[in-house]
Structure 1
Amino acid sequence: MNPEINPGVAVVGPGAIGTTIAAALHEVGRTPLLCGRSPRDHLTLQDGDRFITVPGPVRTNPTHIARTADLVFLAVKATQIEAAAEWLAVLTGPETVVCVLQNGIEQLDRVRPLSPHGQIVPAVVWFPAQSQSDGSVRLRGDARLSLPDTSASRVVAAALQGTRCAVDLAANFSSLAWRKLMQNAVAGLMALTHRRSGMFGRADIARLTLAYLQECLAVARAEGADLGDEVPQEILDKFRAAPTDMSTSILTDREAGRPLEWDIRNGVIARRGRVHGIPTPISDILVPLLAAASDGPG
C-alpha cells in the first residue's frame, strides 16, 4: 500500500538535493508532493548500502495543483529558477514558507520576485548528494541544513524534526552562508579542470586554492561575515580529505553540457568586491572562463 502524499509539503526540483529532502520526509511518513520538469514514478536515494524509494509521481503540470502548500522546498538550481516560477505561483500563498535550497548568498533577491506572497527562508545545504547515471541520487555524508533563526525557519525545522536531515537555526547565518559560498567558489576549479576532489592533492592546485580563498575571505569580511583567518585552510583541508572521486554539482553540470551556476558561486565574489573596492585578480580570470564554459559561444 502506497503511503499517503502530504500535499501541504512540496519539493520543487527533485534533483540531488530535492531527492535527499524528499527521502528524509518519506522515511518518517511525511511523503511530500513532488514537482519537476520530467515525469517520474519514483525517486531513489542511495545511502551506503541502503536504498530509499520515494513514491511519485513527479508532477509536471502546475495547472493541476489545486491548493497552496504550507511549506515548499525549492531545490532547483539558480539556472533553472525562472522555470520554477509557475510552480511557485500555484503553490505559495501568504502563509506559505518557501525554503530555498540553493547555492549562493542571494536567494532572497532571486526568489522573492517569483514568490511575492510567500515567506522566503534561505538555507545553507551542507550535505554532498550526487545524481547517478541511472537517475538515482547518492548521499555521501550526513544531511544537514543551516537556516536563519526566524519564525518561518522554525516551520522548516518542525517539518524535518526526527528525520535524517538535521536543521540548525543559526544566529550567524550570514557568516555560514559566506563560508559555504567560499567552498562552492573553489569547486569552480573542478569544473574548469574536469577533475574531482583528488586534484586538491596537487601542491600547485593547493596554493592556487588558498590564494583564491584568501581573496574570497576579504570580500566576505567586507560584507560583514565573521570568519577567521583559519577558514581558507579549513576549506582546503576538507577538499583534500574528501574521497578522491568526490564530484560537485557544477562539475556534474559541466560534464553534462548544462549551464553552470558560475555567477552565483563565483561571479558574486568579483561583483561584491567591486562594491567594496577590493581587488579580485583570481576571480577576474576564473569568472570569464567559467562563463564561457557555461554560455559559449564556441
Structure 2
Amino acid sequence: MTAEEPTIALIGPGAIGTTVAAALHEAGRTPVVCGRSPRAQLELRDDAGSVIVPGPVRTDPAGIARTADLVFVAVKTTQTEAAAPWLSALCGAETVVCVLQNGVEQEELVSPYAKGGPVLPSVVWFPAQAQPDGSVWLRGDARLTVPDNPAGAVVAEALRGTRCSVELAADFKSVTWRKLLQNAAAGLMVLTGRRTGMFARPDIAELSLAYLRECLEVARAEGAALGDEVPREILGSFQAYPPDMGTSILADREAGRPLEWDIRNGVVVRRGRAHGISTPISDLVATLLAAASDGPG
C-alpha cells in the first residue's frame, strides 16, 4: 500500500462492514467509511465491551478526493449496483476490491463496477447482528477466508494482528461452496420465520440434510472438493448455535427488504440445470423465497 490517505475504504457499514471497520480501527488503520445514511460513528459490541469507530460516515461519492489502495465492499448483493458510484470514486486501476458478500459469484457481480483492478471474493464466517440502536453485536470470533493470491495477501496484511483473522485458501472454490451450502440452508429460517432453534426439530433436521445433500451434488459438479460429511457438519453447526441466533436473510425478511434469494438459493437451481442435475428441493425453496422477496401480493 502507498503512504497516501485514504489507503483503506469500506462501503456499507452494516453488521459485517462495522465489524471489519472496528477491527481496522483498533489496529490504527481506520478506514474511510462510505454508506447511504449519515452517521457520526459506528459501534461494535461483544461480550468484552464495545469499540467506537469515529465517523462521519460519508454519503456523497463526489466528496472522495483520491482513490484507495484497498476497498472492502460490504453491501448486500441486492445493493451492489447502488454502490457503483462509490466504486467509481474509490477505485483506481490497481485498487484491490475485497467483496464481503454471500455467494459464489462475487467477482462476476462486482467486477463491472471496478476499474480493472483485482476483485477478491471472500467468505465471511462470523455472526454479526445489527441492533435496534444502530450498534452491531458480534456473537463469535471474526474470520475471513480469501484466495491465496497477491490480492489476498493485501487483505491479510491489512487485517494482520486485528480481531478479524484472515485465512488464505489454496482451494477457495471448495471453501466458498461450503459456505454457500450453509447460506442455502439458512433460507429455511425465512420460510418458517424461525431462528436457529428450529434445527433441533427432527423433521427440520431431516429436511435440512436432504436439501444440503442436493446442494452438495451441485457443488461437486462445480468442482468443489467436499465430502459426504459436510451436510451433517453444517446441520450440527446450526444446532450448536444459540436458539435465538438469526441470519442476515431472515433479518431482511423481517424488515421487508429485498432478499438475496438468487445468489444464496437460486444459484443452486441455475448451476444444477447447467449440469443436468435435478434439484427439486432447491426449486421449491428458491421459488418461495423469490415470492417472499419480490411478490406480488
TM-score (norm 2): 0.98
Distance 1:218 1:85 in 2: 35
Q: Aligned runs of 1:49-60 on 2, under 5 Å? A: 49-60=48-59
Q: Aligned runs of 1:48-127 on 2, under 5 Å? A: 48-127=47-126
Count of residue pairs brought into register by the alignment? 294
Deviating runs (4+, > 3 A) in structure 1? Answer: none
Deviation, structure 1 residue 94: 1.0
Cα-to-partner distance string for 1:92-129 (whole Å, 9 max, x where unaligned): 00110000000000001000111132210000001110
> Greater shift after overlay, 63-72 or 117-126?
117-126
Distance 1:136 1:187 in 2: 23
- Does the 8 A contact of 1:6 with 1:31 survive in 2? no
Distance 2:115 2:122 in 1: 18
One-letter identity of the residue aligned with 1:265: R
Percent of residue pairs bearing the same amino acid type: 70
Q: For residue 59 of structure 1, give the secondary structure of its aligned residue in structure 2.
A: coil
- Does the 8 A contact of 1:6 with 1:30 survive in 2? no
Deviation, structure 1 residue 6: 5.2
Q: In structure 2, what is the equivalent of residue 37 of structure 1? A: 36
Q: In structure 2, what is the equivalent of residue 144 of structure 1? A: 143
Distance 2:118 2:61 in 1: 20
Deviation, structure 1 residue 52: 0.6
Distance 2:216 2:283 in 1: 16
Q: In structure 1, what is the equivalent of residue 220 of structure 2? A: 221
Q: For residue 141 of structure 1, give the secondary structure of its aligned residue in structure 2.
A: coil
Q: In structure 2, what is the equivalent of residue 13 of structure 1? A: 12
- Does the 8 A contact of 2:97 with 2:119 survive in 1? yes
Q: Aligned runs of 1:187-266 on 2, under 5 Å? A: 187-266=186-265
Distance 2:244 2:43 in 1: 21
Cα-to-partner distance string for 1:195-243 (whole Å, 9 max, x where unaligned): 0000000000000000000000000000000000000000000000000
One-letter identity of the residue aligned with 2:215: C
Q: In structure 2, what is the equivalent of residue 295 of structure 1? A: 294
Q: In structure 2, what is the equivalent of residue 132 of structure 1? A: 131
Distance 1:46 1:245 in 2: 17
TM-score (norm 1): 0.98
Distance 2:23 2:193 in 1: 31
- Does the 8 A contact of 2:5 with 2:68 survive in 1? no
- Does the 8 A contact of 1:198 with 1:245 survive in 2? yes
Distance 1:208 1:116 in 2: 43
Q: In structure 2, what is the equivalent of residue 286 of structure 1? A: 285
Q: For residue 183 of structure 2, give the secondary structure of its aligned residue in structure 1.
A: helix
Distance 1:66 1:195 in 2: 45
- Is there any run of 5+ residues in structure 1 with no aligned partner, and where? none
